[in-house]
Chains A and B, each alone.
Chain A
């Protein structure tokens, strides 16, 4: 039976069919839906961990206990998990272990672009790259086989376009995979230097065998065509190339670490002109050049951003592989078009973060930010965030600022979401206490992992399988870490929020403010919409500074306007209006 599945759904299905017993990860676009879908299958265990390092550690434990394991994260998550990963390459596995890295060329929802094929090369483990959903499903099974045959973790790399594109997948029944017996083996699993030195040799031995295997593995294949042009490619780029050059000879590499040297050399010598088409870094190209193969790659194709058919077509035209088009005519006609203003993502109407950022901005504070929906607080008109580096960085950075310039703690706050706090904010807060900082940390507790689409986290009282779970009390946790000043406030009550922030920033000791209110997309109760009393509105535009998508400004009339369909009645606008021009519907007609 064929089904239309996204790459992520296909990976979940593949894991189920291949007998994966444990799935673990941390949500991150574009990887999130893998575990969400895997969790729906019977007879498996799945969980979100607080971060990727813990995810992989849970996965390693499950593998050593004998189960087949899938660990999922986005590309930047692998940075967090890199510490256990490199040593896992030494110990190897018991049950097969696949680490999914979902890379994001073009940064659709990421703070950087990174090509995690280098992690495979760096950690000395195999790397597989699917180009559509069917391949994604098959490669999970293959990766588990490789993992168990060669005693190694295997990385599976998707990109956003593979993860979030749907294509047809042949569905099969799951195979029955028995747990492997656990065996105590300190020489293999206790990586003290004496043991690690022996395993270091095993890693090299394994890579030699894997290089041999790579020569004949079915996911490395040739579409034989015209010998004038040969293209070596991997992942989604294969689809673009196949579409544009149906006649060309193509070597599609599904396994990109280690690369099949003989297969590549044979292919290269059989074509007149050789190109490598790969997104992001010249990972394949570099190796070819080391082997002395003449090839065109990044001279022609960019190393920045996502590829698409148009981009590759233009480059093939430039290289003379495709005829030039009447592109100029098209461009000239497009010149008359009205300018379409950009449409950046925004905080939703009723978003509880809005009140916090509005207040921080009005207090002119330096705000170290973090990763989540609330990063949007950096965009106009709120413009309340000064920094964003990675998950958990906000707290450490606020501490660093005041250590460098002691007065800064009186004008600095760190903001971090609840899920991100559990991910890697806790250790930052420990650091503030231990090293006696005075930082003020605002935990934006919207009771979910908002940005990736509402995953549960250790504070929500539910787990990935939908069962009730103990909810970790952030207030008690902060107190237990040694923070004396812990206050919980409603981020939509602006006066109180402002007062608390002012007090805590002025205090001569560290403090935590928990700005607690559910994500606007989660709460089902929607208040009556607000409306503008046009007589009272004097057109001062103060309400526009909230950046609420439901609030607009009528130019001719010089009056504010509320869209009654999208307004959820959070009431922030009424609080910032000095003229009482905004009232809730029902209020005024009562």
Chain B
């Protein structure tokens, strides 16, 4: 484990980024680190752009990740990966759920949804991983578990034991959804 880990989760209100961040923060706790997490919510819950930040390490001061300091960005939506790309370290990884959700300015024709997002992100970041988390989640029985599919993809790329992730999942996911989420995690992990 490196000295510290800075993670950004970005998406659209309602996609489950906050729950995913809570699981991630729990992973840090189970692994014995100091952990801070910033989850600004309120109006943004209503379909707005949402970003949560999780930091873990020996000692963490700021709950926010600085620009260019994120080890990994987990983007729940394509456009949001673009919006927060500048937070990523040059050698960091970005995991993108290949789903497009048009913001209202696009829906009403006041703005364009860029077409070449994935190409651009890949050109800036060699460690770009694109997955169809929604499809995987639906295959596991619940479209809402796409957030945990993405966590599985991330887990595979961090040097923390899988056991820790499963314990964190158990601690943060309501019991009746646990099976679906375990399956979703594995689906992501094995991608």
State the A residues within 8 Å of B (CB): 2-4, 6, 29-30, 108-109, 132, 160-161, 164-168, 236, 238-240, 242-243, 308-310, 313, 330, 333-334, 336-348, 373, 376, 379-381, 451-453, 541, 544-545, 547, 549, 551-553, 565
Contact = CB atoms under 8 A, between A and B. Distances in A.
A166 B21 CA distance: 10
A549 B104 contact: yes
B63 interface: yes
Interface of B: 12-13, 22, 25-26, 28-29, 34-49, 60-64, 66-68, 79-80, 82-83, 85-86, 101-114, 116-117, 120, 124, 143
B45 A345 contact: yes
A380 B110 contact: yes
A343 B49 contact: yes
Contact of B79 (A239, A242, A343, A346): A343
B37 A309 contact: no
A555 B43 CA distance: 30
6 contacts: A108-B43, A167-B63, A308-B66, A341-B103, A343-B104, A553-B107
B69 to A, nearest CB: 8
Nearest to B109: A553
A533 to B, nearest CB: 20
Instruction: Pick from B25, B41, B49, B113 the residue with the most CB of A within 10 Å.
Output: B41
Nearest to B54: A166
A164 B124 contact: no
B107 A309 contact: no
Contacts of B143: 565
Contact of A29 (B36, B41, B79): B41
B79 A344 contact: no
Given A166-B25, A239-B61, A553-B107, A313 B66 contact: yes
Contacts of A342: 49, 103, 105, 111
A376 B43 CA distance: 9
Nearest to B143: A565
Given A337-B82, A343-B79, A343-B103, A165 B43 contact: no
Given A165-B63, A330-B68, A451-B43, A343 B12 contact: yes
Nearest to A238: B61
B62 A338 contact: no
A330 B88 CA distance: 12
Given A338-B116, A552-B107, A165 B44 contact: no
A161 B35 contact: no
Given A108-B42, A166-B38, A343-B105, 17 more contacts: A4-B28, A109-B42, A161-B38, A167-B60, A239-B61, A239-B62, A243-B61, A337-B82, A338-B82, A338-B120, A341-B112, A342-B49, A342-B105, A345-B44, A345-B45, A345-B48, A376-B43
Nearest to A451: B43
A380 B114 CA distance: 21
A341 B83 CA distance: 9
Nearest to A548: B107
Contacts of B83: 340, 343
Given A161-B38, A341-B111, A348 B47 contact: yes
A543 B172 CA distance: 40
B48 A344 contact: yes
A341 B46 contact: no
Contacts of B66: 308-310, 313
A239 B63 contact: yes
A541 B112 CA distance: 17
Contact of A345 (B22, B40, B46): B46
B47 A345 contact: yes
Instruction: Pick from B25, B34, B40, B102 the residue with the most CB of A within 10 Å.
Output: B40
Nearest to B50: A343
Contact of B35 (A167, A238, A240, A452): A167
B79 A334 contact: no
Nearest to B90: A330
A209 B98 CA distance: 62
A533 B143 CA distance: 26
Contacts of A3: 29
A179 B33 CA distance: 40
Given A343-B49, A348-B46, A380-B110, A166 B36 contact: yes
Nearest to B49: A343
Contacts of A376: 43, 46
Contacts of B38: 161, 164-166
A274 B129 CA distance: 47
Contacts of A242: 61
B35 A166 contact: yes
A109 B47 contact: no
A340 B48 CA distance: 13
B39 A345 contact: no
A341 B106 contact: yes
B37 A341 contact: no
Given A239-B62, A342-B103, A381-B108, A30 B42 contact: yes
Contacts of A341: 79, 103, 105-106, 111-113
Contacts of B103: 341-344
A547 B108 contact: yes
A451 B41 CA distance: 11
Contacts of A109: 42-44
Contacts of B49: 342-343
A29 B41 CA distance: 8
Contacts of B43: 29, 108-109, 345, 376, 451
A243 B44 CA distance: 28
A241 to B, nearest CB: 8
Contacts of A132: 36, 63
A330 B67 CA distance: 11
A164 B60 CA distance: 16
B68 A344 contact: no
Nearest to A341: B111
A30 B40 CA distance: 9
B104 A547 contact: yes
